[in-house]
Amino acid sequence: MHLKIDGIDFSYTSTPVLHDVSLELEGPRFVSILGPNGVGKSTLIHCINKILTPTKGTVFIDGKDVKETTIKDLAKEVGYVPYSANDTFPLSVVDTVLMGRHPHSKWKSLDSDLDLVYETLKRLGIEHLAMRSFSELSAGQHQKVMLARGLVQEPKILLLDEPTSNLDVRHQLDVTKMLKSLAYDKNMLVIMISHDINIAAKYADEIIMLNDGTIYAVGTPQEVITEDNLRVVYGVKSKIIDDDGAPHVILKDAIPMNEDIRRADDVEVGKQQEVEAGP
């Protein structure tokens, strides 16, 4: 499969989020998207699977414009594991994971679907939770269930929004490693938003680093994770050491950013105006 993002812009009513993002990816591959909070990582992913429509530009999957694909057809190609799921009315784990089969649903496919669900739960080590209610689970188990739902969808491209943020270190490593092997076993393009630079650096084939709504750097972990890039994008001083060929970040200190200083000024000006406008 082949994913091409061609010059997309996206803005929420008045706030521009993404600007002129272009990207080309081909699977099987495990790609990680890095970048600080609010930089547009989730927005980018949502533009790929039509949760959001870019204000400008086009997304192509295997050469086909996603605008011309119905969301049901797109759901067969692109899976999505959200950051969190609403559980006002929780279902059982099996029912939750079974939803992932919806784009492929046919009459009388329940037996094979249940087999697949069980296989996937087992792969994630949570088969014992199958009949439990979603609301009785821990945050980490929630994430694994959502992950299972994305996997049973059997997409060609799997998008994940911080799938390991609530997991302990062992499970973080385990899940990330599994995602990577999945990419190659099932011939998928796996794209994961991540906040853990070191885990991304250890497993990702390719890293996309976003800054201010644009792509700041793309490439292998060695190319992208550098002290300079981390300073500019994350605003941190760091030291990078080599760990068996993968870069490993040791964080040193946060740099007071120019932006923050400017914002502080704005607040001052705003206050003054308020005072002047007063009686």
Partner 1 sequence: MEEMSVLERTYRQISRKKTIISLVILAVAALISFFSIFVNHYTGLSFDVTWNVLVAHLSGHEYGVYYYDLIVWDYFSPRAIMAVFVGAGLAVGGVVMQSMLRNPIADPYTTGVASGASFGVALFFMMGFALIPTGNYSLDITLNASLFALIPTAAIVLISRRKNMTPTTTILAGVAVMYVFRAATSIMTLSADPEAVEQLYMWNVGTLVDARWDNVWIVAGMTLGCTILIMFLGHQMTIMTTGDNGAKSMGVRTKLIRTISLIIVAVLTATIVGYVGTIGFMGLIAPHVARILVGSNLKYLIPCSAATGALILIACDCVTKFMVSSVPVGVITSVIGGPMFIILLIRGAKKVWY
Any contact of residue 130 with partner 1 (CB under 8 A)?
yes
Tokens 């499969």 -> residue: 1
Task: Tell me the site size for partner 1, rule CB under 8 A.
Answer: 48
Q: Which of 8, 29, 39, 96 binds partner 1 (CB under 8 A)?
A: 96
Q: Which of 14, 15, 37, 88 binds partner 1 (CB under 8 A)?
A: 88
Any contact of residue 260 with partner 1 (CB under 8 A)?
no
In the window 191-230, what residues touch partner 1 (CB under 8 A)? none
Choose the stretch contacting partner 1; rule: CB under 8 A; options: 126-134, 208-216, 226-234, 238-246. Answer: 126-134
Least CB distance to partner 1 at residue 2 (A): 20
Q: Which is nearer to partner 1, 87 or 265 (CB)?
A: 87
| Category of 124 on φ-ψ map: left (φ > 0), alpha (ψ -120 to 50) or beta | alpha
Q: Which is nearer to partner 1, 118 or 184 (CB)?
A: 118
Q: Which of 17, 33, 117, 189 binds partner 1 (CB under 8 A)?
A: 117
Any contact of residue 67 with partner 1 (CB under 8 A)?
no
**Longest pairwise C-alpha distance within the chain:** 74
Q: Which is nearer to partner 1, 84 or 181 (CB)?
A: 84
Any contact of residue 75 with partner 1 (CB under 8 A)?
yes
Q: Which of 30, 80, 203, 234 binds partner 1 (CB under 8 A)?
A: 80
In whole angstroms, what separates CA 255 from the centre of its chain? Answer: 26
Any contact of residue 185 with partner 1 (CB under 8 A)?
no
Q: Which of 29, 41, 50, 202 binds partner 1 (CB under 8 A)?
A: 50
Q: Which is nearer to partner 1, 129 or 233 (CB)?
A: 129
Torsion sign, CA atoms 25, 30, 31, 37: positive
Q: Which of 99, 139, 169, 257 binds partner 1 (CB under 8 A)?
A: 99
DSSP output for the chain: -EEEEEEEEEEETTEEEEEEEEEEEESSEEEEEE--TTSSHHHHHHHHTTSS--SEEEEEETTEEGGGS-HHHHHHHEEEE-S----SS--BHHHHHHGGGGGG--TT-HHHHHHHHHHHHHHTT-GGGTTSBGGGS-HHHHHHHHHHHHHHT--SEEEEESTTTTS-HHHHHHHHHHHHHHHHHTT-EEEEE-S-HHHHHHH-SEEEEEETTEEEEEE-HHHH--HHHHHHHH-EEEEEEEETTEEEEEEEEEPPPHHHHHHHHHHHHHHHHHHHH--
Q: Which is nearer to partner 1, 110 or 254 (CB)?
A: 110
Any contact of residue 156 with partner 1 (CB under 8 A)?
no
Give residues in contact with partner 1 (CB under 8 A).
13, 46, 49-51, 70-76, 78-80, 82, 85-92, 94-96, 99-100, 102-103, 105, 111, 114-115, 117-119, 127, 130-131, 133, 135-136, 146, 149, 153, 159
